[in-house]
Amino acid sequence: MNMNNKVFEYTDYQQISEIVADVCIIGSGCGGATVAHRLAEAGVDVVILEKGGYYPASTFDNRELNQAGKVDAERDLSTDTNGSTMLTYGELVGGTSVHYWADSYRTPDDRLELWRSQYGITGHDAEKLKPIFDDIERRHHIQEAEPFRYNRMNQLFKEAVDALGWESAPIKQARKGCAGSGHCMQGCAIDAKQSQLVTNIPSSMALGARVFADLKADDFVFDGKRVTQLQASVIDRARNRPSGKKITVKAKHFVVAAGGFNSPAFLLNQPRLRDSLPALGKHFGMNPCTYAHGLYDEPIILWRNIPAAYGVEGFRKARYDAKGNYIEGGYLLVPDQIQPGLMAYTIPGFDDGAAEWMEKLPNVGGAIGWLDDHPDELGEMTVDGHGVRQIHYPYGPTTQKMLRDLMKKAAIVNFKAGARKVMLGDLKRTTLSSVAELDRIDAIEIKPGSLTLVAPHPFGGCRMGTDPKTSVTDSSHRVHGVDNLFVADPSVFPTGPSVDPSVTIMAFSYIAAEHIANAMGKKTAPLQNG
């Protein structure tokens, strides 16, 4: 890193009132940091604004609660509007990539074809993306985990799904020099997990990009069909509130890359865009997930070594009968990894039954699944009169069937792996003693507050497409009706990618950067594969 180009923090803004650059990027996660690196390589003067703080690995102490305040946006206490689903994302330099498990999937070809054929997306096909995927995997050291990094749950999970005959495979990981601490979700203290804090942020800065932490984007100023400047607020990190200091950012082009939860909300708070783009905030999904805990006769210790090293892909695509009725699938299924504090959250209740599970915590294992949101049952994001984000997610009838099937499959794999009993995450703490009791899952209520649901992978809200009436951006990632405003994060996805989205976000951001560079008469650097 070019140390003359430090990360600016809330204590550094006393003498700064204006920032000027060629391109201003809002957000520093997989989308924003990738765009920044590709543009900086092309010789573009780039600034990145990040609402969260700057926490390098030297500040990570592997203490779960300490880390939550640094890595987890809103301290993991934010939910959708009716309180049914916990929103999980990062808000710091490096974004959610500092928080993620590092599972790294290429976008399935079938999903890219769906987006092309049904949603009109061009220039994002498998042929275009293959060399980009190759480059991302090289730069982020993405490869299958060595078997000795499998913790006990990964070992048992692999044996179980292989015995069940379910289609499964090792999950590629973005890691280099892993020590197996098991604190991936709280930020890697040795920079082994290849988050944007380790990869594209320092490489961008070495090329001259500037990063401004603790700086929240507020309002665009428009002149005709262009954004001319951005008003931003300095965040007092100690209070996590605006300090009162305002800064003006002037740029030729602006990129919104604040993540699936925040980009639509930010754009909805721009009256000019909210009034002209009827699809803004619509078609919103969040890859909801749930789990099944298993109690084993041997120590599992979920919070050791890497998380999901081996997963089931055979249920990724949902199956329907000839009449369109749901049969099964529509999710990924992987071994769970969870630290003790968060585990307490996932064991409902405060009675003796809950205490029993906590007392036996080292022997608790589990499986977790990410739902591929049904395209006809997506939600919507709005903002209230105070500009506060409101998330409305319906959990429609097919979505509920998917969740029940996921829970059944997660219970089956736990029993096959040797669990003596299996607990689901509903308020009644439904506990099964064998696979013969799977039908009890059909009685679990799926309504606000009845089942532990987490949303790790939001998308949509700024859907890409051809028609300004039904989409927000075109295939160049440019916002309809604004010449110099782009979006580069999962909010542009028309549906979920059906796998963990980090690689898809980065790949799409390569394409966004290419279009932005072209608009400035520049070219992004050739990819260095091999």
Instruction: Render 92-111 in DSSP notation, one character per residue.
Output: BTTGGGGTS--B--PPPHHH
Q: What's the pLDDT at 281?
A: 98
> Above 60 in pLDDT, residue 530?
no
Q: Quick one: pLDDT at residue 453?
A: 93
Question: With bands split at pLDDT 50, 70 and 90, how would you rate the model's confidence at 88?
Answer: confident
pLDDT: is 307 or 250 the higher one?
Answer: 250
pLDDT at 528 over 80: no
DSSP letter string, 457-499: --B-SS-B-S-TTT-SB-TTSBBTT-TTEEE-SGGG-SS--SS
pLDDT class of 75 with cuts at 50, 70, 90: low
* Structure tokens given for 206: 């070495």
Task: State yes or no: pLDDT of 169 exceeds 50.
Answer: yes
At residue 3, the pLDDT reads 40
Name the nearest CA neighbour of 490 among 294, 300, 263, 311: 263
Average pLDDT of span 6-35: 97
Give the separation between CA 259 and CA 455, rounded to whole angstroms.
13
Q: Using CA of residue 312, residue 141, residue 506, residue 26, what is the dihedral sign?
A: positive
Task: Indicate the range of 58-67, 401-410, 462-471 predicted with least confidence.
Answer: 58-67
pLDDT at 491: 98
Q: What is the mean pLDDT of residues 368-373?
A: 96
The model scores a pTM over 0.85: yes
CA distances 52 to 180, 187, 214, 243, 501, Å, are 27, 14, 5, 14, 21
Residue 4: pLDDT band with limits 50, 70, 90? low
Q: Convert 256-279 to b/e letters by CB count within 10 Å (16 or more is b).
A: bbbbbbbbbbbbbbbeebeeebeb
Using pLDDT thresholds of 50, 70 and 90, give the confidence band for residue 1: very low
How far apart, in whole angstroms, are the C-alpha atoms of residue 370 and residue 406?
Answer: 9
In whole angstroms, how far apart are CA 62 and each of 192, 197, 288, 306, 461? 14, 17, 27, 14, 34
User: Which pLDDT does position 76 carry in this prediction?
Assistant: 56
Give the pair of three-digit tokens for residue 381.
Answer: 């994001």
pLDDT of residue 72: 79
Nearest to 64 by CA among 341, 301, 286: 341
Q: Are strands 364-371 and 289-295 parallel, antiparallel or unpaired?
A: antiparallel
1-74+89-102+105-139+189-284+459-530 fold:
FAD/NAD(P)-binding domain (3.50.50)
Kindly provide the residue ranges of all beta strands, DSSP E only, lying in 27-139, ordered along the sequence.
Answer: 46-49, 86-87
The answer to whether residues 233 and 5 touch, using CB atoms and an 8 Å cutoff, is: no
Q: Tens digit of pLDDT for each residue in 278-315?
A: 999 999 999 999 999 999 999 999 999 998 999 999 99
pLDDT at 2: 42
pLDDT bin (cut points 50, 70, 90) of residue 322 is: very high
Evaluate the CA torsion angle 101, 107, 111, 116 in order and state its sign.
positive
pLDDT value of position 65 = 79
Q: What is the 3-state secondary structure (H, E, C) of 225-252?
A: CEEEEEEEEEEECCCCEEEEEEEEEEEE
Find, among 11, 479, 517, 100, the residue nearest to 257 by Cα: 479
Neighbours of 189 (CB within 10 A): 17
Sign of CA dihedral 97, 85, 353, 332: negative
Q: Mean pLDDT over residues 439-443, rounded?
A: 97
Lowest mean pLDDT among 53-57, 108-112, 448-452, 525-529: 525-529
Reduced to 3 states (helix: H, G, I; strand: E, B; else coil), residue 144 is strand
Query: Exposed, middle or buried: residue 493 (CB in 10 Å: 0-12, 13-18, 19+)?
Result: buried
Supply the DSSP string of 287-313, one letter for each residue.
Answer: --EEEEEEE-SS---TTSS-S--EEE-
Write down the mean pLDDT value for the chain. 94
Report the distance separating Cα 247 and Cα 387, nearest Å.
20
Mention every residue, 6+ apart, whose C-beta is less than 8 A from residue 517: 38, 39, 42, 44, 523, 524
Q: What is the mean pLDDT of residues 118-132?
A: 97
Strand partners, 295: 364, 421
Q: What is the pLDDT of residue 340?
A: 87
Q: Among 324, 323, 326, 317, which residue's Cα sits nearest to residue 495? A: 317
User: Could you please report the per-residue DSSP string of 152-179?
Assistant: HHHHHHHHHHHHHT--EEEPEEEBSS--
CB burial of 35-66 (b: ≥16 within 10 Å; e: otherwise) equals bbbbbbbbebbbbbbbbbbbbebeebeeebee
Quote the pLDDT of residue 250: 98
Q: What is the pLDDT of residues 150-163, one digit of tens each?
A: 999 999 999 999 99
Predicted pLDDT at 74: 66
Query: What spatial distance separates the first Cα and last Cα of the chain, rounded to whole Å?
Result: 24
449 pLDDT tier (thresholds 50, 70, 90): confident
Report the pLDDT averaged over residues 453-481.
97
Closest CA to 389 of 251, 259, 238: 259
Residue with token string 């098991």: 182
* Residues constituting the chain: 530
